[in-house]
Amino acid sequence: MKIAILGKPFGEEYEPFIQNLFDELLRRKAEVTVVEHFSLFLSNRINLPTGLGTFSRGDKLEGVDIVLSIGGDGTLLDTVTYVGALQIPILGINTGRLGFLATIAHDSINLALDALFKGHYNLDDRALIRVDSDQEIFDGINFGLNEFSLLKRDSSAMIAVHAYIDGEYLNTYWADGLVVATPTGSTGYSLSCGGPLVLPQTNNFVISPVCPHNLNVRPMIVSDRSVISFEVEGRSSTYLATLDSRSMPVDMSVQIAVRREAFVARLVKLHHVNFLTTLRGKLNWGLDKRTNIFK
């Protein structure tokens, strides 16, 4: 099995677990390649196997069977941009905080590897959001797993976002910004803006205003077959466009639209892990003394 590894720096408390990961991969005779910047970090923390391969952004990952993402959800979002249209399955190992996407705890690495090598897993295809614009914004990586946002700059007044669905006028959002989230992203920024939780396999986008100045404006669910386009006005000459964890200042004159990407992010789903269990655990649902009152 050929495995690519991406990751972000982690605390020393995780070093024994990551050392164990590489030792176990070596024992299983896996061919391993690590993204270059993470390999440099690891070389000062753990004992890496000899002959370890490295790669950088833009290098082709053909032939890779599984990609391991070591970090939090932000690391996994970045990993998706490396994989792109190849749709290589991604497994997230959580050395971060919340972990909606990176669901494998650091102390469950051996169980996860055993399931991988035995084929005891399913693939969970997640829709991506694509950004089209008349000027390049995101250096050619114009897709994301969570959300696309239009936001005011730090020091500016609110902005007005004129939104259209398939060319038909929807609304003008006088707000600090507007978020268009995928079902996966419904547990992220959109949720903090009052948006609904959406199950991963529903074919929708969630449009959520950020601090709207009209209190009767509420989040809205639309089909992900729609094309959502925007015109932005404000006192400033620029606003902030964000795609997952990437952000760029954009001139008000730039034309932007979003749609569903043609390919998906393929997440590894182990048999003992499911979305509803993760949802209850991460949002602390059921932490109520009445939960077992009728048992």
Which of 23, 59, 65, 73 is catalytic? The answer is: 73
* Antiparallel, parallel or unpaired: β 256-270 and 121-133: antiparallel
Contact assessment for residue 22 and residue 7, using Cβ atoms and an 8 Å cutoff: no
In 104-176, which ranges are E strands?
Answer: 104-105, 121-133, 143-144, 147-151, 159-165, 168-175
CA-CA-CA-CA torsion sign (265, 268, 271, 272): negative
Distances (CA, A) of 262 to 116, 192, 234: 27, 28, 33
**Burial class (CB within 10 angstroms; exposed 0-12, middle 13-18, buried 19+) of 29:** exposed
Q: 102: which 2 tokens? A: 């990176």
d(CA 274, CA 285): 15
Q: What is the DSSP letter of 281?
A: H
At 177, list the tokens: 């910004």
The answer to whether residue 73 is catalytic is yes
Burial (Cβ within 10 Å: 0-12, 13-18, ≥19) of residue 8: middle
Which of the residues are catalytic?
73
